[in-house]
Structure 1
Amino acid sequence: MIARFLLLASVASASFVTPAAFAAEAAQPAAADDQQASSPRGDVIVVTARRRQETAQEVPLAISVVKGDSIEATGNFNIVKLQQLAPTLQVYTTNPRNTSVNIRGLGVPFGLTSDGFEQGVGIYVDDVYNSRVAAATFDFLDVNQVEVLRGPQGTLYGKNTTAGAINITTNQPTFDFEGRAELTVGNLNYKQAKAAVSGPLTDTIAARIAVAATSRRGTLYNVTSQRWINEQDNLGIRGQLLFQPTEDFSLTLSGDYSKQDPECCGTTFVRVGKTQRPLNRQYDALAAAQGYVVPSRNPYDRLTDLDSNLNAGNKIGGVSAKIKWDVGPGTLTSVTAWRFWDWKPENDRDFTGLSIVSKSQNPSQQDQYSQEFRYNYESKDIDFVVGLFGFKQRIDTQGTEQQGEDAAQWSLAPSTDPTNPANIPATLAGLTASNTQWLKADSAALFGQLSWKVTDALTIQPGVRLNYDKKSGFYQRVVTNAQGQAISCTTVAEPGTIKGTTQQCGVYQPQVSSPSDSAWNFTYDFNVNYKIAPDVLAYATYAKSFKTLGINQNGLPLNADNTVNYDASTVKPESVNHYEIGLKTQFLDRRATFNLTAFRTDIKNFQATVNGGQFGTVRGYLANAGKVRSQGIEADFKIVASDRFTAYANGAFTDAKYKKFVDAPCPPELSGGTYQPSGATPDYSQPGVPGALSPRQCDISGQNLPGVSKWAFSYGAEYNIPVTLLAKDGQLYLGVDGNYRSHWNSNASPSIYTEVKGYALTNVRAGFRGEGFDVFGWVRNAFDVNYIENLQVAPGNTGLIAGQVGDPQTWGGTIKFSF
């Protein structure tokens, strides 16, 4: 609390001592762009991708811009849904914490999330960095637009943007009184209400407040609890206060709070695949031995029988102060922020209705502080921005995982002997692993970017960033038996513990680690862009980027002799070389826009998530893959044919592969058996053969990165006609939008069992709008397509594959008013 008070005090004092303004935001688009404002419906898109206001077509980088009204019209109410509008954006989530946001197949290692590494796709809201993807799964609230910046953005956006950045801008306070309200209802008992009001409090002070609430019945029925799960239950509020005594100075204070409290996030049975475990220890045999029958083997029946409590409680919020001051030929900006994230999950980790893992939860609390100063200068021939950035973060996690009464028979070798430990529930029941961990991360950076207009057509743009990072962590797992006694798995029991049994130590082992490391990194990029014609811009970019060092915060893997592998406590930084060329064009009096991009990204020491297949070892940890490559082509087209008709189509081809990963974990079809001899050449010739020897590691070089669709498309169109209805002048309109993604794999080491089929989704809407109102009906997933959002390999190498199915067809109506 003292730290937060000092933060706010410093903000208040800075408003008088160091007035700041960001010219990139204060400046209006250049006069050359004024002609663009005359195009039909005034379709000018202004962005701040280079930390200054300019039209999107002037920015020499690949960027997708989604306006707030498009987000609302298409029902894409958060980042997870945003991928339906941006083809090279991939977002996969099993719960808010375990959310992967990737661009061009890169960003977050696919799999279980660790706090000890950077995201790779930076998420910014009003210039404030959100360090955890989980802290950015909130509903969009009073959003003006979202910019998806593709490719490394490390010079201006930092070490966390090796794959790109998502720049979210909210609506700001106004000195003209305005307001809006929106109400939506639909099937599945869907209800959403939004409201925002903005206006002056005095001649120099304006305020804005926005609220939103969303609820919806779940899409998966749990026959055990007799409840629909995976529901929505969200509430958000944002308030802003603008102090603007002169045109040259402004101070904006912002605060926001979001709460999500759904019964989520459960899975359903999808399929079973053969592993190399003995046949009597694979899923079908184990389930039969315990008389267990899954409610349905068809995932699209939307049935599950999970027996553990489910919760995805998520609280997110913070405050910020943004100060802007025009200083002679340049402008100065300061952004100060504190954010928090409070995560209270409960999961069913065995993915079944059996009590194998009876409890699994890892609540976390995060505090982060950030401070950025920027100075921006613009002139006829030279533009530049220089800045300083500081960041401080602490994350605390308290984990609990407990074995249930069915664990012994499921996890141990079966026997007909009633005295065998596998047939005695007490062998493992009540065995509990309690994890305590924390992470401290400090970062500082000095950065700058220069734009030199060599001629009216040619511009050269170099940029640099020097970054320092220090990370330290602590992890302790204490294992207790059903009587609450701490156990040891060493040869001689440690003081205060008793010696654990072979069966207990094969499931959970005590562990302590304190990883710590620091690193300096230097990022630079070089862009050359040339205006071939007034509305044709060609550019080429080289970027040398990095993702800073990582530390393993979820525990460490074991060596072959069952000792802790402390060498895995830290992970090397990624080294990124990126190449990109692009063409941005407008024609038909700027009513049509066509942009084309080709790229290649090479990464050395790629930070990948690897997963152990057993309950007792670490669920997932970070390791370096030797080399990764992502390359592809993107095309974006939009036409505003007239005030009556608009359309867009975007497409992307992405080829993302492990170029070298020789010691990756093996997929389930090559796991579960007795290990092949140490030092032997791995034998991959018997996948899915029960009893076969399993390789200790697998060489997955040349295989595709998980989570990446090779082909992705999105499209949309809207047509309207002017009418007078109920004495109101307006437009009747019909809109359609859709997207397609080709197949992709859902396991860190691609598996034949985790291949997700491609799918296409179509949404339609029709309504009547006029000045100050909009009434429309909508259908999402109009053709009720069955599709999978994510697949997960159940622990234990039993061959069980569980998953989350996508939303079925939903429909409803929306009423919007504004004044």
Structure 2
Amino acid sequence: MHYIQSDIVFVRIWMDSAAHLSGVAFMRINPTALLSLAGLMSPAPLAAQTMATADDGPQIVTGGTRTAGETRMPDVIVTARRREENAQAVPASLNVVGGDLLDLSYTVNTQGVTALIPSLNYSSANPRNTALTIRGLGSSVVAVSQSNDGLEPGVGFYVDQVYHARPATAAFDFADIAQIEELRGPQGTLFGKNTTAGAINITSRAPTFTREGFAELSYGDYNLVQARGWVSGPISDTVAYRLSAVATRRDGILDNVATGRAANTVGTQAVRGQLLFKPSETLQTRIIADFTNFQAYCCTQVFVRVGETQRPLSRRYAYLAGQFGYAPASTDPYDRRINYDGPLGVDTNEGGVSAITDWRVGIGTITAVTAWRFWNWDAENDRDYTGLPIQLSQHIPSRQDQYSQEIRLASDGERRISYVVGLYGFRQRITGRPISIYGPAAAGWLIGQTTGANNTPVPTNLLDGYGQDGRTDFRTQSYAAFGEVNVRIVPTLTATGGLRYTHEDKDGYYSTFTFGGPAATSSALINARLGILRGQSYQAHDKDGSLSGRANLAWNVTDGVFGYASYARGFKSGGINMSGLPLNAQNQPALATAVVRPERNTTYEVGLKTQPFDRRLVFNIDGFYTRVRDFQATIVDSSQTAALRGYLSNIPKVTVKGIEADATAIVVAGLTVRAGVAYSDGRYTDYPAGPCPLELQTNQTAVCSLTGKRLASLPPWAITAGIDYSHQVAGGSVFLHADTASRSGYNGDPTLSRYTRIDAYNLTNASIGYRFAGGLELAVFARNLLDSNYLQNVTVQAGNSGLILGTPGDPRVIGVTLRTRQ
């Protein structure tokens, strides 16, 4: 059974319980080993045992197993409000994608989920520089700047109830997922960590007391290989286990003619082990340990275009490239050809251990979630994006550790008054080492032939070997109390109110020093070199607390028609710049920008959820208005000549308003179609001192008013659609899946330069297969079936020369999948 329910959309594919298809990724371990997982299972399954916990709720489809002949939508159970509820009765906008649909659509990571959820946007130049936004809010990290460790994401990312503090987690592949919920708007009154824009709540499949197993092997273009598998079953009458693994490998899709090695390969593997202890019907503990590793020759970008600036001709790309006799391998980004000479590679991993205990007592269920997680990061890239030795190395090896403890009490069953109350504690430490080293072409490209008022000649080797090293240390302590209560005023009208108080302490230490390079013989040359790179050292502290909350009214108009109106206020604590500070006119750090103010989000929303025609159709719609004050953003310091340094700042006011609607219909038994649309109008309502777009930049530090302009990285229109079909034939069944997603054009850079606009695009995926009566399945899949050319993100080259780069979407990939389950 396969479903997607969105606040708005709910999809169910009418297949029998064996019709799970799988996502495609790329493999780094022996695929045969994963295929052998199915053989670990005993052929004699034990009797099923009920598992009644909040964790397992997302796996439940009310009504039990359904056959292909049924024509009514099943209920989808969610835990969006930390208790099991029918998604169609939750007074909030949300999307729910079931694990079977994830498998069926070959969705193996968060980026793939955006093809199924129109309001969710994902951008990632590499795992560290990953940004998730909901309705255009949540993160302003763009490919032009590094992720700032001192800034919290506005979109919370939760896996099995554990908050993942670093956005890089969202870049990893996932496997064996029961359900993904996208929750829109502030979520502080129910979730442990406060988030202002929304939350992604992922639930993995839990251990079972019946034996089951799954194994899959896929092969496609670019030597794409993926193996996935899981096995689950009882250890005793009270203990069950589950072991899941995925491995993925793919050759590079960018041809680096300078080295003869294809770039942007994929290589990842992940493993997850679980134990479920269930000594009684009222008490259980689920222990989860996981590890994910990503090692690849990636992640780089291609030439997109050259934009004009107001800088002198000698500082523009055409002159600089001509000075060195350089030409890009191709000026068409979809040729996917580069000629970069610098190092390239990503080595990152993350993992952790958590324990979730549910204890049913007389007044409800007590849930305790204890977790430790870590994230290691190291990568190098040719940050000048040319075949010239301008920047020899840039990387920021870092380590993150987090500890969290949450305890909640939630009422059980249907009552006139229901509630959730909880306490949350969170500690985090991130240490880093920012490293940059320049090469023999750096002086000519970044400074020029002369410098200073007296036009002092610049030696060509002035920056050769000149670099930066340092240490960063960022620490967070966060504590919160939260609660929400629902009161049924009359049988058809329910009022909800929730409050949260959050207290946070943050400390940041940043220290860098310069080294190397030939001796500078004059003050003009010294100043020129310091203008490229200068050591900085500072410490900063931020301490704040805030009350946030939400309220709504929900009305069961008739059977199958549900309406609601809500108000929510979110709070995100202040941030600390951990990537260095912009320099003032005296080339000194502007310490006033070390700490940025808290962000406050106010959202109003109305919605209607319906299930007409005897539940053969689900149609939901909502409208929203969001106002954000002191929006925390990563701003680019255009005065920097060597590197477009990203630092944190506050945008006085941002607003987003829009309408979202989804519909799913069972046309005939076995045939389901769905469609979703999101329209969002995001604006910088008050932004008088924003960064200047490329076409207005000069050699002088300047600010430009962006008031009234559209919010960056937010497509005004996003449309998704899909079709699923299953038909019984002699000896088995045929199944078909297709999904398509279109997004209108938008600006991919916060400066809103006309040269950084990303054009509208469409992405279509499809698969067709045959399932034999014995359970073996064979399928053919296509990712980017129409071979659409589109950009995932854009970057302005360091040095403000006018060069624009981007990450092209993957080309069409066609492959085959073989799977079996027991």
2-side partners of 1:26 and 1:255: how far apart?
A: 17
Residue of structure 1 equivalent to 2:592: 567
> For 1:190-230, what per-residue CA distance to the aligned partner results, in whole angstroms no more than 9, with x for missing partners?
00000100001111111000111000111111111211111
* Structure 1, unpaired ranges of 5+: 1-20, 492-498, 676-695
Deviates more, 1:22-31 or 1:163-172: 22-31
Q: 1:535 aligned to 2:570?
A: no
> For 1:204-258, what per-residue CA distance to the aligned partner results, in whole angstroms no more than 9, with x for missing partners?
1110001110001111111112111111100000000011011111011110000
Q: Which amino acid aligns with 1:156?
A: L
Given candidates 102, 117, 132, the residue that maps to 1:101 is 132
Given candidates 438, 442, 450, the residue that maps to 1:407 is 442
2-side partners of 1:262 and 1:550: how far apart?
A: 31
2-side partners of 1:292 and 1:510: how far apart?
A: 31
> For 1:79-122, what per-residue CA distance to the aligned partner results, in whole angstroms no more than 9, with x for missing partners?
12211111010101100010110000000123231111110100
2-side partners of 1:421 and 1:301: how far apart?
A: 42
Q: 1:456 aligned to 2:491?
A: yes
* Contact 1:408/1:422, CA 8 A, preserved across alignment: no
2-side partners of 1:780 and 1:208: how far apart?
A: 30
1:328-343 alignment runs, 5 A limit = 328-343=362-377
Given candidates 80, 86, 92, the residue that maps to 2:123 is 92
Given candidates 462, 468, 477, the residue that maps to 2:512 is 477
* Contact 1:266/1:306, CA 8 A, preserved across alignment: no
Deviates more, 1:124-133 or 1:730-739: 730-739
> For 1:34-78, what per-residue CA distance to the aligned partner results, in whole angstroms no more than 9, with x for missing partners?
699896376332111011111211111111111112112222210
> For 1:563-607, what per-residue CA distance to the aligned partner results, in whole angstroms no more than 9, with x for missing partners?
210000100001111100000010122121011010010011111
SS in 2 for 1:265: coil
* Contact 1:371/1:390, CA 8 A, preserved across alignment: yes
2-side partners of 1:96 and 1:416: how far apart?
A: 38
1-side partners of 2:556 and 2:59: how far apart?
A: 17
2-side partners of 1:522 and 1:125: how far apart?
A: 26
2-side partners of 1:757 and 1:560: how far apart?
A: 37
Residue of structure 2 equivalent to 1:369: 403
SS in 2 for 1:640: strand
Q: 1:150 to 1:488 in 2, by over 3 A?
A: farther
Residue of structure 1 equivalent to 2:619: 594
Q: 1:717 aligned to 2:723?
A: yes
Residue of structure 2 equivalent to 1:69: 100
Q: 1:737 aligned to 2:746?
A: no
SS in 2 for 1:166: strand
Q: 1:187 aligned to 2:190?
A: no
2-side partners of 1:607 and 1:35: how far apart?
A: 46
1:508-519 alignment runs, 5 A limit = 508-519=533-544
Deviates more, 1:372-381 or 1:457-466: 372-381
> Quick one: higher RCO (CA 8 Å, sep 6+), 1 or 2?
2
TM-score (norm 1): 0.90
After TM superposition, give the deviation of residue 150 of structure 1 in Å.
1.2
Percent identity, aligned pairs only, is 40
Q: 1:203 to 1:159 in 2, by over 3 A?
A: closer
Residue of structure 1 equivalent to 2:660: 634
1-side partners of 2:58 and 2:328: how far apart?
A: 61
* Contact 1:37/1:44, CA 8 A, preserved across alignment: no
Q: 1:279 to 1:603 in 2, by over 3 A?
A: same
Q: 1:29 to 1:775 in 2, by over 3 A?
A: closer
After TM superposition, give the deviation of residue 421 of structure 1 in Å.
6.8
* Contact 1:22/1:333, CA 8 A, preserved across alignment: no
> For 1:599-623, what per-residue CA distance to the aligned partner results, in whole angstroms no more than 9, with x for missing partners?
0100111111111232456610011
SS in 2 for 1:563: coil
Residue of structure 1 equivalent to 2:336: 302
After TM superposition, give the deviation of residue 29 of structure 1 in Å.
12
* Structure 2, unpaired ranges of 5+: 1-50
Q: 1:27 to 1:511 in 2, by over 3 A?
A: closer
1:344-359 alignment runs, 5 A limit = 344-359=378-393
2-side partners of 1:601 and 1:210: how far apart?
A: 40
2-side partners of 1:375 and 1:619: how far apart?
A: 45
2-side partners of 1:480 and 1:640: how far apart?
A: 67
Q: 1:195 to 1:36 in 2, by over 3 A?
A: closer
1:220-235 alignment runs, 5 A limit = 220-235=254-269
After TM superposition, give the deviation of residue 532 of structure 1 in Å.
0.3
TM-score (norm 2): 0.90
Residue of structure 2 equivalent to 1:166: 200
> For 1:471-527, what per-residue CA distance to the aligned partner results, in whole angstroms no more than 9, with x for missing partners?
0010011011237x9x999x9xxxxxxx98122111111110101111011111001
Q: Which amino acid aligns with 2:770?
A: F
Q: Which amino acid aligns with 2:326?
A: Y
Residue of structure 2 equivalent to 1:495: none
Residue of structure 2 equivalent to 1:702: 708
Residue of structure 1 equivalent to 2:809: 806
1:314-713 alignment runs, 5 A limit = 314-378=348-412, 379-414=414-449, 424-482=459-517, 501-613=526-638, 614-616=640-642, 619-674=645-700, 696-713=702-719
Given candidates 765, 773, 795, the residue that maps to 2:798 is 795
> For 1:747-778, what per-residue CA distance to the aligned partner results, in whole angstroms no more than 9, with x for missing partners?
11101100110011222211112563332101
2-side partners of 1:178 and 1:299: how far apart?
A: 46
Deviates more, 1:330-339 or 1:68-77: 68-77
1-side partners of 2:510 and 2:436: how far apart?
A: 15
> For 1:629-667, what per-residue CA distance to the aligned partner results, in whole angstroms no more than 9, with x for missing partners?
011000011112343201110001011110011111111
Residue of structure 2 equivalent to 1:758: 760
Q: Which amino acid aligns with 1:698?
A: C
2-side partners of 1:163 and 1:416: how far apart?
A: 46
Residue of structure 2 equivalent to 1:268: 302
SS in 2 for 1:206: strand
SS in 2 for 1:440: strand
Residue of structure 2 equivalent to 1:288: 322
2-side partners of 1:22 and 1:329: how far apart?
A: 16
> For 1:138-170, what per-residue CA distance to the aligned partner results, in whole angstroms no more than 9, with x for missing partners?
111111111111111121125542111001010
* Contact 1:22/1:375, CA 8 A, preserved across alignment: no
Residue of structure 2 equivalent to 1:149: 183
Given candidates 778, 782, 804, the residue that maps to 1:779 is 782
Q: 1:133 aligned to 2:159?
A: no
SS in 1 for 2:703: coil
Residue of structure 2 equivalent to 1:16: none
2-side partners of 1:593 and 1:69: how far apart?
A: 19
After TM superposition, give the deviation of residue 437 of structure 1 in Å.
0.3
SS in 2 for 1:408: helix
Q: 1:91 to 1:264 in 2, by over 3 A?
A: same
Q: Which amino acid aligns with 1:580?
A: E
1-side partners of 2:776 and 2:343: how far apart?
A: 43
* Contact 1:29/1:55, CA 8 A, preserved across alignment: no
SS in 2 for 1:504: helix
Q: Which amino acid aligns with 2:572?
A: K
After TM superposition, give the deviation of residue 311 of structure 1 in Å.
1.3
Residue of structure 1 equivalent to 2:74: 43
Instruction: Give the root-mean-square deviation of aligned CA atoms.
Output: 2.4
Q: Which amino acid aligns with 1:788?
A: L
